Amino acid sequence: MKPRTRLIFGTGVALLAGAALWMMRVPSGPVQPTGNVPAATGWRLQPVVSGLEHPWSLAWLPGGEMLVTERPGRLRVVREGVLHPRAVSGLPDTLGIGHGGLMDIIPHPRFAENRWIYFTYGHGTLEANSTRLARGRLSADLAALSEVEVLHTVSPLKAGPQHFGSRLLWLPDGTLLLALGDGGNPPIRLNGELMREQAQRLDSQLGKILRLREDGTIPADNPFVGRPGADPFVWTLGHRNIQGLARDPASGRLWASEHGSRGGDELNLVTPGANYGWPRATYSIEYTFGTISRANTLPGLTDPVVVWTPAQAPSGLQFYTGSAFPAWRGDLFSGALKRKEVRRIDLDADGRVLGQETIAIGERVRDVRQGPDGHLYVLTDEKNGRLLRIEPVN
Ligand SMILES: [Ca+2]
């Protein structure tokens, strides 16, 4: 091929490739808020356990037993589908007010060796409180936690019963993510400004995802380590109140769901050091219908991937890898408190959203998790809360 021919040929290939990429890419510009979506098919709901008081999170142990937190401060065990009548002993006192109480729970990646269980809870008083991260060793009979140690107390302290977060997630390098809330709605203030401004302050842990080592110390490669005035635990910023955190083990993509104020709930693709905008840019408005920010998006801020208006009130988030629902593999499942459903978020192999479907539960959904059997398990946030299983039907 002559040089000139090669040039024309090469340019043509590049143009074709560019056009193909353009056709495949997600439209840029404002994210379209999602309202009603079609119902998912091929599933049924199977009750497993009832009598859980405002259950918040669940986790499986290597032996197949489940741990379930109850927001008032109890840790329960479910073995072969039966709720043990006695709560696990040895947990610290928790501040069970509003959004706070005993929240997320996650076993150490090497639990079988060390028996460590990590959990988050509200601590303090109505006037001065925070989210805490602690761990304890679970006895072989699953009856008691011992050697309980507080690994982290989120600072600064906040007032009131709102926006504690919180979700925990292990990264493959053995560090732990702790996702938090901004501390509360107006008129709650700190140092003369609205509490929500904490989400943009690098010296505050509110409205952040933090990254910690398993003993609660600071990983040296956190994105803001060494920056003057920045809190070295901070991993991402600009969040209002994260309630779901999930990781795709194949791609490593990390997803977080958070509550907006009125409308504007978000699903975000999370990368270290990024600023997710709250309250500078948001699709939500005040509960009183006032404006929070005129901007949906701003340079330097990371836009959400999905916006839910009207609000879903998203809760637990699961990336599905199981075999019970082959068509759902590689998709995200988000619980919804307000819409009383599980939302399936259909993703392609590159993590782009293809669509959504609703799985109606009829009760406030606090958490959704994939079980070892490949089914999805749901906790309902009620006084008589339930554990339900989503199973396939032909
Ligand atoms: Ca945002």
Residues shown for the chain: 394
Phi-psi region of 313 (alpha: psi -120 to 50; beta: other; left: phi over 0): left
CA of 197 to the centre of ligand 1 (A): 13
CA of 306 to the centre of ligand 1 (A): 10
99 is catalytic: no
Alpha-carbon distance values, 147 to 109, 115, 131, 194 (Å): 18, 11, 20, 38
Q: Specify the pLDDT at position 34.
A: 86
The DSSP-derived string for 62-113 is TTS-EEEEETTTEEEEEETTEE-SSPPB-PPP---STT-SEEEEEE-TTHHH
Amino acid found at 5:
T
CA of 103 to the centre of ligand 1 (A): 23
Give the residue carrying structure tokens 């799985």. Answer: 359
Q: Specify the pLDDT at position 33.
A: 85
For the chain, residues with pLDDT lower than 50 are 1-3, 5, 7, 15, 17-28
Q: Specify the pLDDT at position 45.
A: 98
| Contacts (Cβ under 8 Å, ≥6 apart) of 15 | none
CA of 59 to the centre of ligand 1 (A): 28
Q: Specify the pLDDT at position 23.
A: 38
| Contacts (Cβ under 8 Å, ≥6 apart) of 261 | 185, 240, 282, 284, 285, 286, 287, 292
And the tokens for 359? 């799985």
Helix (H, G, I), strand (E, B) or coil at 253: coil
Helix (H, G, I), strand (E, B) or coil at 170: strand
Q: Specify the pLDDT at position 380.
A: 98
Q: Specify the pLDDT at position 32.
A: 81
CA of 208 to the centre of ligand 1 (A): 12
Q: Which residues of 230-247 are buried (b: 16+ CB within 10 A; e: fewer)?
A: bbbbbbbbbbbbbbbbbb
Residue 9's H or E segment, with its range, is: helix 3-24
Helix (H, G, I), strand (E, B) or coil at 357: strand
Q: How far is CA 295 from the centre of its chain?
A: 24
CA of 262 to the centre of ligand 1 (A): 13
Paired strand residues for 67: 59, 77
Question: Measured between alpha carbons, how far is 302 from 225 in angstroms, rounded to an integer?
Answer: 21
The neighbourhood of ligand 1, an ion, using CB within 5 A, equals: 276-277
CA of 75 to the centre of ligand 1 (A): 32
For residues 233 and 179, the answer to whether their CB atoms sit within 8 Å is no
- Which one of the listed residues 108, 123, 152, 163 is annotated catalytic? 163
Question: Measured between alpha carbons, how far is 72 from 63 in angstroms, rounded to an integer?
Answer: 26
CA of 385 to the centre of ligand 1 (A): 30
Question: Measured between alpha carbons, how far is 49 from 329 in angstroms, rounded to an integer?
Answer: 26
| Contacts (Cβ under 8 Å, ≥6 apart) of 113 | none
Q: How many CB atoms lie within 10 A of CB 363?
A: 18
| Contacts (Cβ under 8 Å, ≥6 apart) of 40 | 344, 357, 358, 359
pLDDT tens digits for 186-231? 999 999 999 999 999 999 999 999 999 999 999 999 999 999 999 9
Q: Specify the pLDDT at position 29.
A: 54
**SS3 of 19-47:** HHHHHHCCCCCCCCEECCCCECCCEEEEE
> Angle CA(257)–CA(285)–CA(281) in degrees, nearest 5?
65
